[in-house]
């Protein structure tokens, strides 16, 4: 995996999302967190990371095994915009994927909160 990262950044996976997934560093922005979470879903097997980066009150019915499953093939991520102020942040993106029903696009505006030095995914509004 020396090519561009799965999240669409030109950096190699080892320099982009891998340090987040390996819990060596924490995302400094909502966009970094969203990109690393996309990569976790695209690769599968990172349910623990996804659960630990989900705002705890919103993740109470989720499990590591459920989040580790790779239920579809993620093909492309396009970040349309992002921003943050103090402890609130957002990222709007389009992600294309393929599942049993064919090709689809997820267009979402995700919201994030920061507690201490860590960003957490709260949820998103599907566009």
84: left (phi over 0), alpha (psi -120 to 50) or beta: beta
Domain ranges for the chain: 13-126
Tokens of 22: 């390996």
Its pTM stands at 0.94
For the chain, the average pLDDT equals 95
pLDDT at 2 (0 to 100):
54
Structure tokens at 28: 């400094």
Cβ neighbors of 14 (< 8 A, separation 6 or more) are 1, 2
Q: DSSP letter for 86, please.
A: T
Could you give the residue ranges of the DSSP H alpha helices within 1-127? 18-21, 30-43, 47-52, 64-68
* Phi-psi sector, 10: left (phi>0), alpha (psi -120 to 50), beta: alpha
Confidence of residue 3 (pLDDT cuts 50, 70, 90): confident
pLDDT digit string, tens, across residues 58-116:
999 999 999 999 888 999 999 999 999 999 999 999 999 998 888 999 999 999 999 99
The fold of 13-126 is: Nuclear Transport Factor 2; Chain: A, (3.10.450)
């Amino acid at each position: 995996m020396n090519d561009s990262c799965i999240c669409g950044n030109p950096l190699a996976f080892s320099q982009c999302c891998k340090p987040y997934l390996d819990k060596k560093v924490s995302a400094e922005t909502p966009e970094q967190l969203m990109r690393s979470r996309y990569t976790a879903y695209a690769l599968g097997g990172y349910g623990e990371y996804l659960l630990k980066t989900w705002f705890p009150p919103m993740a109470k019915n989720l499990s590591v095994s459920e989040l580790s499953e790779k239920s579809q093939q993620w093909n492309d991520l396009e970040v349309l915009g992002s921003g943050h102020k103090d402890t609130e942040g957002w990222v709007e993106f389009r992600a294309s994927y393929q599942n049993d029903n064919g090709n689809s696009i997820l267009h979402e505006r995700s919201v994030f909160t920061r507690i201490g030095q860590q960003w957490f995914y709260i949820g998103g509004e599907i566009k």
